[in-house]
Amino acid sequence: MARTPSPKRPCRICKRGFLPNAPVKDRQKTCDHPSCQRDGFAFILHRFLTDGFLTALGHNELLLYFFLVLVSDRNGLSFYSYDRICTMLELRIDQYVKAKDSLIEKDLIAFDGTLFQVLS
């Protein structure tokens, strides 16, 4: 009795067999395991514009918010330190603190002293 070939294909990173998602099956090269997802993906909800946040935030607040959206994981968490953020965004510490506090006040982010979470 002949074996039917498995529709699974090997993940390009971990080599485990996986079933590709139907809409992208010809293009999907890696499985859905978190350790195999090298490229990030970020998006800004349309309500960021329609709820008035885009016009209500200043330059440094927008810069910090967009940065945190880009670097956060799938749960909105980011572990970047303030000195690294200030260096990358070319912000002074006072500008960073003011932008961070404003985003917290507007409930766009949470911060526990070491960890950021994008909320909206």
Is it the case that residue 61 has pLDDT exceeding 80?
Answer: yes
85 in a structural domain: yes
Instruction: Work out the mean pLDDT of the chain and round it to a whole number.
Output: 83
Q: Are residues 71 and 19 in the same domain?
A: no
Average pLDDT of 17-44?
Answer: 68
Number of domains in the chain: 2
The pTM is what? 0.68
Q: What is the signed CA dihedral for 74, 44, 12, 4, rounded to 10 degrees?
A: 90
Question: Which one of 43-47, 91-95, 107-111 scores highest in mean pLDDT?
Answer: 91-95
Residues contacting 60, CB < 8 A, separation 6+: 91, 95, 96, 98, 99
Q: What does the pLDDT read at residue 48?
A: 83
Query: So what's the pLDDT on residue 3?
Result: 63
pLDDT (mean) for 90-98? 97
Domain that holds residue 22: 8-39
Say how far apart CA 96 and CA 32 lie, in whole Å: 36
Same domain as 24, residue 54: no
